[in-house]
């Protein structure tokens, strides 16, 4: 039985990946910074918590990483840990850097020193590309990050590439564009929009406060994206891949579609708050995921209006209103 170690199993992607790997017959181990104190709500929502071996492992602690590697002896490692909010990275740049960069370094070193045959996946981000205008980003697009989060993810990208080239490790980065699900924490803007629209529809709120509503993003469905992660570790040769739907829309349009799902007119409730505009905001994010389609046989099937409906239906189901 193949054994996988998911670093950051308590997050959105970690929970969906754990479910996918269990369905494929894997022995799945997962870590968080404090397994005893973590609610693992995502694993509970997907009803798989009892199927995962859970361990405490701050990835920033090299000793803790080595101890878990010795115990788990994983065949595959999926590095999904670290701070995951772009907005929060401006408020906590040091923690963001340490969680992403130091964590990735410790994992790569543990593989190099103890289990060099282990295959390693690292979660990259479209934020590393910065503003490309209307030009879709590919695997060959230069990295020009504009946020502390993007800078840290860019450094981790080069760490993985360096260990792959210098030590011959099977180490890859999936450069994922925005992907959403019912497991998104409330601090993420997509979850905020859906939660607020529901509250307005119930008469519990009247206004949606957003920052820059003209930003353009490529949004996809998270359960589909974790399949791309798995496929990347099943190839004959390690390569990095852009993982995206290839379809982008403005935040305003995303919110408009959400409000329409609740029978609401966004223009009657939207309030643009300058205080919510991030420093150095990434304006346009577009992707060309053709390499993933051609070489991994992967594509995103849920995007645009279909994604909005799936997200709203999932929220209502969790709220007991479905």
Sign of the torsion formed by the C-alpha atoms of 98, 39, 111 and 167: negative
Burial readout 187-204 (b: 16 or more C-beta within 10 A, e: otherwise): ebbbbbbbbbbbebeeee
Q: Which residues 6+ apart lie within 8 Å of 96 measured at CB? A: 82, 83, 88, 89, 148, 149, 152
Stated length of the chain: 322
Residue of 221, 219, 206, 280 whose CA lies nearest to 250: 219
Which residues does the annotation mark as catalytic? 125, 127, 149
d(Cα 121, Cα 74) in Å, to the nearest integer?
12
CB atoms within 10 A of CB 296: 19
Cα dihedral sign, 293-19-77-56: positive
């Amino acid at each position: 039985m193949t054994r996988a170690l998911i670093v950051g199993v308590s997050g959105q992607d970690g929970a969906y990946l754990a479910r996918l790997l269990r369905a494929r017959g894997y022995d799945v181990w997962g870590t968080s910074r404090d397994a005893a104190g973590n609610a693992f709500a995502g694993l509970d929502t997907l009803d798989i918590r009892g199927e995962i071996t859970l361990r405490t492992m701050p990835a920033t602690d090299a000793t803790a990483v080595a101890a878990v590697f010795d115990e788990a002896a994983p065949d595959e490692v999926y590095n999904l840990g670290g701070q995951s909010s772009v907005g929060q990275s401006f408020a906590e740049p040091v923690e963001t850097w340490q969680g992403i960069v130091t964590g990735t370094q410790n994992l790569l070193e543990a593989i190099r020193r103890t289990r060099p045959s282990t295959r390693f996946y690292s979660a990259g981000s479209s934020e590393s590309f910065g503003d490309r205008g209307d030009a879709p980003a590919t695997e060959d697009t230069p990295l020009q990050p504009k946020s502390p989060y993007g800078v840290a993810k860019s450094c981790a990208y080069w760490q993985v590439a360096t260990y792959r080239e210098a030590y011959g490790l099977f180490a890859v980065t999936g450069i994922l564009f925005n992907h959403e699900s019912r497991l998104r924490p409330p601090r993420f803007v997509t979850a905020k929009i859906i939660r607020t629209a529901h509250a307005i529809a119930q008469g519990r709120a009247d206004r949606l406060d957003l920052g820059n509503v003209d930003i353009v993003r490529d949004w996809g469905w998270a359960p589909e994206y974790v399949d791309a992660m798995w496929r990347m570790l099943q190839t004959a040769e390690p390569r990095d891949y852009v993982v995206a739907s290839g379809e982008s829309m403005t935040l305003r349009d995303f919110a408009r579609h959400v409000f329409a799902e609740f029978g609401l007119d966004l223009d009657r409730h939207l309030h643009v708050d300058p205080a919510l505009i991030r420093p150095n905001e990434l304006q346009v994010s577009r992707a060309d995921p053709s390499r993933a389609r051609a070489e991994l046989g992967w594509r995103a099937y849920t995007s645009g209006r279909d994604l909005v409906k799936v997200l709203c239906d999932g929220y209502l189901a969790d709220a007991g209103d479905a």
